[in-house]
Structure 1
Amino acid sequence: MSFSTKILVLGATGYLGGSIVTRLLEHPRAANFTIIALVRSEVKAQKLETLGITTVVGSLSDHDKLEGLVAQADVTIGTLVLNDVAEQADADDLPATEAILRGLKRRFEDTGKAPILIHTSGTGVLIDNAKGMFLTDTIYSDTDIAKIEALPPTALHRNVDLAVVAADTAGYAKTYIILPPTVFGLATGKLVDIGVQNPHSIQIPGFIKYTLARGKVGIVGEGKNVWGVVHHDEVVDLFIVLLDAVLSNPETSHGREGFYFADNGEFTHREFVDAVSAALADKGVVELAEPTPFAEEEYKQMPLLGFFGTNARARPDRSRALGWKPTKTAKDMLESIKPEVEALTQKL
């Protein structure tokens, strides 16, 4: 007799979540999965149902509904953060996280078995205040627990990460936190094809759109700071690699040892700005010129701009040891900017 593993995906129509759902549908063990998605749109829910996905219409603010769904699941995958300030309202929604944790606790009390939570955070938790003026030599490894635990509780995403780890420490859940850096590449697959999934990341299109509105390319400081990078498909690979590991071995590193970075290369802010400038100039929508520093007023209008001037350097030693094998690098990210510009300018 085979038992179905109930997998709840939060953010199932998002950039990462939609692709995770697609991979679950195509998984070798898909026949043993019951995939459940919490979605805001009735129309999208109906489309997902045609793929065999169980849907519930609601949002993260429906705390009782959220708690109840989690209490019915063996695995909860939360994909509501892409490591950027613009999504912080979802990423760092502590009340929603507390509802999820209550659901996990109920599941444990009902079954006697600790349910699984795979939570998405981001390397934004590592940022400094470089303002584009320097490259830091501080690099975090996901195996260096002491260094991660030394991060201040006020750091971006940290309040939620700490609550997630505390649930594992309490013993009523096995928790795992994936921390992507800048994610690039257009999402493809079944959910994109049926029109329910957002195919775009946040950071790169956001900067391109702002540049188009500004009329010329801007830069934070001197652009010397560095960020990590990962291709969309390869961070989704990590979710599946981790899920497979956890389902086959419940003692896969979890809790305070359950941080998994997803970096595969680095780029400077200046390299990124120059690539955006060249791609927009090639389309004839922005004149190719030396980038101009953002004004103080611009940072107030778009807080994400300051984020582009920070350092966040990470080494995915634990992720690689698990069997994750990314191949796309910062060079690929810089080359991906041109098709992003093509896609965005077609909508103008």
Structure 2
Amino acid sequence: MSHNVLITGGSGYLGGTLLARMGGANLPPYGKLYASARTAEQADSLRQYGAQPLSFNLKDETEIWASIVENEITVVYYMIDAISYDPPLFFIKALAEVKRRTGQTVHFLHTTGAKLFSSHAGAPTDRPLLDTDPKLYDIQMSQRAKLGPIQEAVNNSCAVIEQAERHGVRSYIFVPCIVYGKSEGFGEPIATLRQIVNVVQAAKALKRVYRVDPDRPTWPVCHVVDNTGVYIELLRKILVNGNPSHGKNGYYLASSGSIAWDDLYDAVGVALAKRDIVSDEKVETANDQILEKMGAALGRPKEFVPLQLGGWCTFTARRAEEELGWKPIFNPQHILETVDAEVERILFHMT
């Protein structure tokens, strides 16, 4: 029996690019491709990728159950909400029922984010934190985040692993980082909730680029095409029954390496000054008053500003290359080389 695949969040930045690249990925044969849709317009757009649209309320377990079980879906890309506990559990329980009825191995791919493995979440930053570390689940369980929503997301990531194991579902924790580049999907053209967009948005409002950390922290980066490549290679391994690492050993960071926030700030400052968006390209350190103003520009309390565009993350990718044969196209410095085009695209879609 072949796998039926569901992609949630297909109208988003990451999900849209994944859908757009599925057809040309030369994947092994599988059954039907489904994608979630909230509107009739989205449903029409999804069909161009060969995906059959499904509509369901994420808060309604009965609707999710029906969509998964009736269509015998065995692989779910969950790319919607890293914080809420109930929807992932609904999908996991429905997948378990498909397994019971069909005997098929079932898979839940949960998308989180690098913030869960950073200083913001209480993760260790004094050394590289490998996604292949056999103790990574235990490290996550012991983490204590500075902010409630991040702690919820960490707890939820661990709960996905626990509940999937309990129900006989294979789980995978997929971790995007600073993702950049043009989306290839029909929906969000830029990563609207991701860090580089926040840097530009705050700088535009305050007429200057500000750093939020006194030291020189680093963060992993990945082009959206390379990020999508990990999603696809993981599915390829599943489709050939390749037994990719899962559960407590199933963390997958999509990243070609890390850059320093200060270098990113400098490059954004140059790009914005060139367009007269900021007073000059100089980057300054934000004080409490500036953080307050940045928070207002981002629609967040000032305590959330460092979370949005700073912090230490030493999370390091190993598993995708070692187990899936994934090779990034773009090195980490590429984001700095293409910041001008990135800023141009962000400004265009912000206006």
TM-score, structure 2 length as denominator? 0.85
Matched residues in 1 for 2:139 and 2:161: separation?
A: 14
Q: Is the 8 A contact 1:136 1:225 kept in 2?
A: no
CA positional deviation for 1:29: 4.2
Of 96, 117, 122, which aligns to 2:113?
A: 122
Change in CA separation of 1:264 and 1:220 when aligned onto 2, cut-off 3 Å: same
Of 162, 187, 192, which aligns to 1:197?
A: 187
Residues 6-15 or 161-170, more deviating? 161-170
In structure 2, what is the equivalent of residue 211 of structure 1? 203
**Residues 181-330 of structure 1 correspond to what in structure 2 (within 5 A)?**
181-188=177-184, 191=185, 196-201=186-191, 202-288=194-280, 289-295=282-288, 296-297=291-292, 298-299=294-295, 301=301, 304-307=304-307, 308-322=309-323, 323-330=325-332
Residue 88 of structure 2: SS of its match in structure 1? helix
In structure 1, what is the equivalent of residue 99 of structure 2? 108
Residues 67-76 or 294-303, more deviating? 294-303
In structure 2, what is the equivalent of residue 87 of structure 1? none
RMSD: 2.4
In structure 2, what is the equivalent of residue 340 of structure 1? 342
Q: Is the 8 A contact 2:219 2:260 kept in 1?
A: yes
| 1:191-230 deviation digits (Å, cap 9, x = unpaired) | 3xxxx32121222122211211122111113251111111
TM-score, structure 1 length as denominator? 0.86
Matched residues in 2 for 1:186 and 1:64: separation?
A: 36
Matched residues in 2 for 1:130 and 1:112: separation?
A: 38
In structure 2, what is the equivalent of residue 83 of structure 1? none
Change in CA separation of 1:285 and 1:219 when aligned onto 2, cut-off 3 Å: same
Change in CA separation of 1:41 and 1:231 when aligned onto 2, cut-off 3 Å: same
Over 6 Å off, 4+ runs: none
Matched residues in 2 for 1:290 and 1:310: separation?
A: 16
In structure 1, what is the equivalent of residue 134 of structure 2? 145
CA positional deviation for 1:79: 1.9
Q: Is the 8 A contact 1:130 1:311 kept in 2?
A: no
In structure 2, what is the equivalent of residue 76 of structure 1? 76
Change in CA separation of 1:294 and 1:101 when aligned onto 2, cut-off 3 Å: farther
Q: Is the 8 A contact 1:141 1:317 kept in 2?
A: yes
Matched residues in 1 for 2:50 and 2:321: separation?
A: 32
Percent identity over paired residues: 25
Matched residues in 2 for 1:33 and 1:274: separation?
A: 48
Of 166, 172, 179, which aligns to 1:170?
A: 166
**Equivalent position amino acid for 2:222 in 1:** V
Matched residues in 2 for 1:22 and 1:342: separation?
A: 23
Residue 7 of structure 2: SS of its match in structure 1? strand
Residue 117 of structure 1: SS of its match in structure 2? strand
CA positional deviation for 1:315: 2.1
Matched residues in 2 for 1:52 and 1:263: separation?
A: 28
Matched residues in 2 for 1:55 and 1:141: separation?
A: 37
Matched residues in 1 for 2:96 and 2:125: separation?
A: 40
CA positional deviation for 1:304: 4.6
Matched residues in 1 for 2:169 and 2:120: separation?
A: 35
Of 7, 10, 13, which aligns to 1:9?
A: 7
Matched residues in 1 for 2:134 and 2:168: separation?
A: 21
| 1:48-85 deviation digits (Å, cap 9, x = unpaired) | 224432112344234322233233311111123xxxxx
CA positional deviation for 1:130: 11
Matched residues in 2 for 1:315 and 1:112: separation?
A: 36
Q: Is the 8 A contact 2:129 2:314 kept in 1?
A: yes
Residues 169-178 or 23-32, more deviating? 23-32
| 1:154-188 deviation digits (Å, cap 9, x = unpaired) | 55322222122113422521111211221111112
Change in CA separation of 1:303 and 1:26 when aligned onto 2, cut-off 3 Å: farther
Matched residues in 2 for 1:236 and 1:227: separation?
A: 19
Matched residues in 1 for 2:137 and 2:158: separation?
A: 11
Residue 98 of structure 1: SS of its match in structure 2? helix
Question: Paired residues, what number?
Answer: 328
**Equivalent position amino acid for 2:272 in 1:** L
Matched residues in 2 for 1:23 and 1:55: separation?
A: 17
Matched residues in 2 for 1:303 and 1:267: separation?
A: 24
Residues 231-240 or 104-113, more deviating? 104-113
Change in CA separation of 1:221 and 1:37 when aligned onto 2, cut-off 3 Å: same
Q: Is the 8 A contact 1:167 1:175 kept in 2?
A: no
| 1:136-170 deviation digits (Å, cap 9, x = unpaired) | 43221122121442223655322222122113422
Residue 118 of structure 1: SS of its match in structure 2? strand
